[in-house]
Structure 1
Amino acid sequence: MSATGSDVILERMMALHPKIIDLTLDRVWRLLDALGNPQDALPPVIHIAGTNGKGSTQAMIRAGLEAVGLRVHAYTSPHLARFHERIRLAGDLISEDALTAVLDECYAANGADSITYFEITTCAALLAMSRSPADYTLLEVGLGGRLDATNVIARPALTIITPISIDHEQYLGDTLAKIAFEKAGIIKRGVPCVVGPQPDEAMDVIEEVAVRNDAPLLAHGQNWHVSGEHGRMIYQDETGLLDLPLPNLPGAHQIENAGAALATLRHLSMGDDAAEAAVTRAEWLARMQRLDSGTLADSAPEAELWLDGGHNAAAGEALGRHLASLPARPTHLICGMLNTKDIAGYLRPLAAQSTSLTAVSIPGEANTLPAEVTAAAATAAGLTAHVAPDVATALARIVAEAPQARVLICGSLYLAGHVLRENG
Structure 2
Amino acid sequence: MTSRADPVLDRLKALHPKVIDLSLDRIHRLLGALGGPHRRLPPVVHVAGTNGKGSTVAFLRAMLEAAGKRVHVYTSPHLVRFHERIRVAGTLIGDDALTALLEECERANAGHPITFFEITTAAAFLAFSRTHADVVLLETGLGGRLDATNVVDRPAVTAITRISYDHRQFLGGTLTAIAGEKAGILKPGVAAVFAPQPEEEAARTLAARAAAVGAPVTAWSVTPEDGGFRFDSAAAHRRLPRPGLAGAHQITNAGVALACLDHLPWVIDDETAARGLAAVEWPGRLQRLTRGPLAEALPAGWELWLDGGHNDSAGEVLAVHAAGWAADGRPLDLIYGMLSSKEPAEFLSPLAPHVRRMRTVAIPGEDAALPADAVAAAGHGAGIADTAAAESVAAALDALSRTGGAAPARVLICGSLYLAGTVLAENG
Give the TM interval when normalised to the shorter protein.
over 0.9
The residue correspondences of 1:194-343 to structure 2 (distance < 5 A) are 194-198=193-197, 199-218=199-218, 223-268=219-264, 269-302=267-300, 303-326=302-325, 327-343=328-344
Q: Could you say what secondary structure the match of 2:333 adopts?
A: strand
Q: Could you say what secondary structure the match of 1:333 adopts?
A: strand
| 1:143 and 2:142 are equivalent in the alignment | yes
Distance 1:274 1:155 in 2: 28
Q: Could you say what secondary structure the match of 1:184 adopts?
A: helix
Following TM superposition, by how much is the alpha carbon of 1:241 offset from its aligned partner in structure 2, in angstroms?
2.8
Letter in 2 for 1:393: A
Residue 402 of structure 2 is matched in structure 1 by 400
Distance 2:207 2:366 in 1: 38
Following TM superposition, by how much is the alpha carbon of 1:234 offset from its aligned partner in structure 2, in angstroms?
1.4
Conserved? CA contact 1:177–1:202, under 8 Å: yes
Following TM superposition, by how much is the alpha carbon of 1:301 offset from its aligned partner in structure 2, in angstroms?
4.6
Distance 1:409 1:391 in 2: 8
Q: What's the TM-score once normalised by structure 2's chain length? A: 0.96
Letter in 2 for 1:251: G
Residue 3 of structure 2 is matched in structure 1 by 4
Conserved? CA contact 2:303–2:411, under 8 Å: yes
Conserved? CA contact 1:67–1:273, under 8 Å: no
Following TM superposition, by how much is the alpha carbon of 1:240 offset from its aligned partner in structure 2, in angstroms?
4.5
Distance 2:360 2:12 in 1: 32
Distance 2:273 2:200 in 1: 28
The residue correspondences of 1:22-421 to structure 2 (distance < 5 A) are 22-198=21-197, 199-218=199-218, 223-268=219-264, 269-302=267-300, 303-326=302-325, 327-383=328-384, 384-402=386-404, 404-421=408-425
Conserved? CA contact 2:59–2:276, under 8 Å: yes
Distance 1:143 1:282 in 2: 24
Distance 1:4 1:368 in 2: 25
Q: Could you say what secondary structure the match of 1:284 adopts?
A: coil
Report Cα offsets for 1:253-291 as digits up to 9, x if no partner: 101101111111233232223421342111100000000
Following TM superposition, by how much is the alpha carbon of 1:134 offset from its aligned partner in structure 2, in angstroms?
0.2
Report Cα offsets for 1:301-324 as digits up to 9, x if no partner: 522000000000000000010111
Distance 1:328 1:247 in 2: 25
Unaligned 5+ segments in structure 1 are none
Judge which range, 262-271 or 161-170, deviates more.
Answer: 262-271
RMSD: 1.3
Conserved? CA contact 1:265–1:274, under 8 Å: no
Q: Could you say what secondary structure the match of 1:267 adopts?
A: coil
Judge which range, 322-331 or 63-72, deviates more.
Answer: 322-331
Letter in 2 for 1:412: S
Q: Could you say what secondary structure the match of 1:70 adopts?
A: coil
Conserved? CA contact 1:49–1:186, under 8 Å: yes
Distance 2:261 2:271 in 1: 10
Distance 2:104 2:275 in 1: 37
Following TM superposition, by how much is the alpha carbon of 1:202 offset from its aligned partner in structure 2, in angstroms?
1.2
Unaligned 5+ segments in structure 2 are none
Conserved? CA contact 2:240–2:270, under 8 Å: no
Conserved? CA contact 1:64–1:273, under 8 Å: no
Conserved? CA contact 1:247–1:255, under 8 Å: yes
Following TM superposition, by how much is the alpha carbon of 1:200 offset from its aligned partner in structure 2, in angstroms?
1.6
Distance 1:32 1:263 in 2: 31
Identity of aligned residues (%): 56
